[in-house]
Amino acid sequence: MKSHRPYPTATVTPKAEKALRGGHPWVYGAEVVALAAPAGENGAARAIGPDEVPDGAYVDVANAKGAYLGTGFISHGSKIRIRLVTHNANDRMDAAFWERKAAWAWDYRRQVLGDVDATACRMLFSEADGFPGLVVDRFGDVLVTQTLSLGMERLKPVVFPAIVHALAKAGVAIRGIYERNDVAARSHEGLGPTCGWWPMDGADGGAIVPDPATPGAMAPLDAVPSPDPDATAYGPAEVEIVENGVRYHVDVARGQKTGFFLDQKYNRRAVAKLAHGRRVLDCFTHTGSFALNAVAGGAAHVTAVDISAPAIEMAKRNARLNGFMAEGADEGERIDFRTENVFGLLTDLEASHRKDYDFIILDPPAFTKSRRTVDSAARGYKDINLRALKALPRGGYLATASCSHFMDTERFRRMLWSAARDAGVQLRQIEERQQAPDHPIVWGIPETDYLKFFIFQVV
């Protein structure tokens, strides 16, 4: 790089260069071969050690010949050493840069979802939107965030206001930002759990700690405000959303992940279309989303099952909210709920030979979050699918999903083929689907392609 740059430079291996040029934004620790201080006016740069580059700071990335590959933030203790935020050497990583990126992300959601569906959507999908390690879900006038990288943690005082500003310019008013940083992945970056309301300053989204005109301005960790779980200025930590015409209570403070799983939005609509007149078993129902779509689609009856009692209670609240159950009731004419282990329930159904259901939905949590345990996960997926197939009558329907990136599509297909063979049935594929487009799959970043969803008829 011949032009003067304000950041240290990390020289990377040819393997890393190939991945970066292919669109992947990560550099792993073993791929960094040298660090150099910013070049002086005479173009000279001296070699430096990791202790001279603060965790979370911006660094330029270059190949062995000095060709610029991108700029990102570094985390010395993480396996993912550098996460790129840009491939453009002309970018200034100031507040305007992040606001532009947030505006592009929001414009995309409005275009692919439409204004109605965008009222509850994933606004930022981390690396897929160029915000490495940041997830932002919109639930009406509340944003719920998870910050999983050290660099983004230090950038929150710049990035959070930029997001709020971008939405405000698009006519979307945000009353509060709730942080759900209670995920184990933060420990990989040396970050602890924090939850609560981000301290917004009116409509500004919070004071910007660094000078926004300074390229690459970034707050030290001890200057990043802490969220307040007990703040009352932002209103209740529960909101109501509408998806596919179905209403839901979303508890952003205590619900799983950010409070609601948005990625199955259109898969739930596909299930509703097929559920008419059927007896449906919704396994791993969580807060009832597939079950309620099935009722709305005209199912004869739906049984919703989850091992979590709090999840079932929220699912019941959602059923009452939609008029599918009377206030105070625990079941309705066309829906009932069971707090039960799905594996045990499917085993009992298989053994009974009664064929109580002619449509079974399997939407389990991720059975694996690493490549090391994918074989065990495959056995778990096969177990529930095999038992479901044995419990269904000929002509019945199965909707089945995996939300694990490591359980790739080809392996999931092989598992389903094996389960069908062992069940002595054949599968007639109706649809193969994936996550909703507000969780965009970016070619070159395979981690963004994670949700598999199939609908079959059993023949």
Model pLDDT for residues 336-345, shown as the tens digit of each residue: 999 999 999 9
**Does a structural domain hold residue 383?**
yes
Q: Look at residue 256 in the predicted model and tell me its pLDDT.
A: 86
Residue ending a domain, among 169, 196, 223, is: 223
Range of the domain at 54: 9-86
Tell me: do 285 and 155 sit in the same domain: no
- Within 205-356, strands assigned E span 238-243, 246-251, 279-283, 301-306, 335-339
- The pLDDT-based confidence of 367 (bands split at 50, 70, 90) is confident
Contact 315, 355 (CB under 8 A): no
- Both 288 and 158 in one domain: the answer is no
- 25-29, 68-72, 212-216, 252-256, range with the lowest pLDDT: 212-216
Please indicate, yes or no, whether residues 156 and 76 belong to a single structural domain of this protein. Answer: no
The residue among 69 and 217 whose pLDDT is bigger is 69
Cβ(244)–Cβ(268) under 8 Å? yes
Domain boundary (35, 64, 86) is at 86
What pLDDT, on the 0 to 100 scale, is given for residue 212? 46
Are 194 and 319 in a shared domain?
Answer: no
pLDDT band (50, 70, 90) for residue 213 = very low
Give CA separation, 307 vs 121, 181, 212, in Å.
Answer: 26, 24, 48
Same domain, 215 and 272: no
Least confident of 79-93, 132-146, 194-208: 194-208
32, 145: one domain: no
What's the mean pLDDT in 378-400? 96
Question: Do 388 and 298 share a domain, yes or no?
Answer: yes
Q: Which two tokens stand for residue 182?
A: 């209670």
Residue 300 belongs to a domain with what CATH number? Answer: 3.40.50.150
User: Are 215 and 76 in the same domain?
Assistant: no
What per-residue confidence (pLDDT) applies to 203? Answer: 57
Last residue of a domain, one of 164, 195, 223: 223
C-alpha closest to that of 439 among 245, 265, 293: 265
pLDDT, position 393: 96
| Mean pLDDT score of the chain | 92
Q: What is the CATH number of the domain that holds 192?
A: 3.30.750.80
What local confidence, expressed as pLDDT, does residue 45 receive? 73
Q: Tell me, yes or no, whether 383 and 430 share the same domain.
A: yes
Has residue 53 been placed in a domain?
A: yes
Print the SS3 string covering 331-372: CCCCEEEEECCHHHHHHHHHHHCCCCCCEEEECCCCCCCCHH
213 with 104, same domain: the answer is yes
Decide if 251 is inside a domain: no
Q: Can you give the pLDDT at residue 442?
A: 97
User: What pLDDT, on a 0 to 100 scale, did the predictor assign at position 421?
Assistant: 98
- From CA 311, how far away is CA 217, in angstroms rounded? 42
- pLDDT of residue 325 exceeding 90: yes
pLDDT in the model for residue 5 = 84
Cα–Cα–Cα angle for 81, 22, 377, nearest 5°? Answer: 65
Residue 318 belongs to some domain of the structure: yes
Q: 3-class DSSP state for residue 319?
A: helix
Q: What is the pLDDT of residues 43-67, one digit of tens each?
A: 567 889 988 999 999 999 999 999 9
Mark whether 55 and 127 lie in a shared domain.
no
Confidence of residue 215 (pLDDT cuts 50, 70, 90): low
pLDDT for residue 89 is more than 90: yes
State the catalytic residues.
Answer: 403
- Per-residue pLDDT at 365: 86
Of 404 and 373, the one with more pLDDT? 404
For 122-157, how does the pLDDT look when each residue is reduced to its tens digit (9 = 90+)?
999 999 999 999 999 999 999 999 999 999 999 999
| Same domain flag for 313 and 449 | yes
For residue 47, the domain's CATH number is 2.30.130.10
| CA atoms of 111 and 437, how far apart (whole Å) | 10
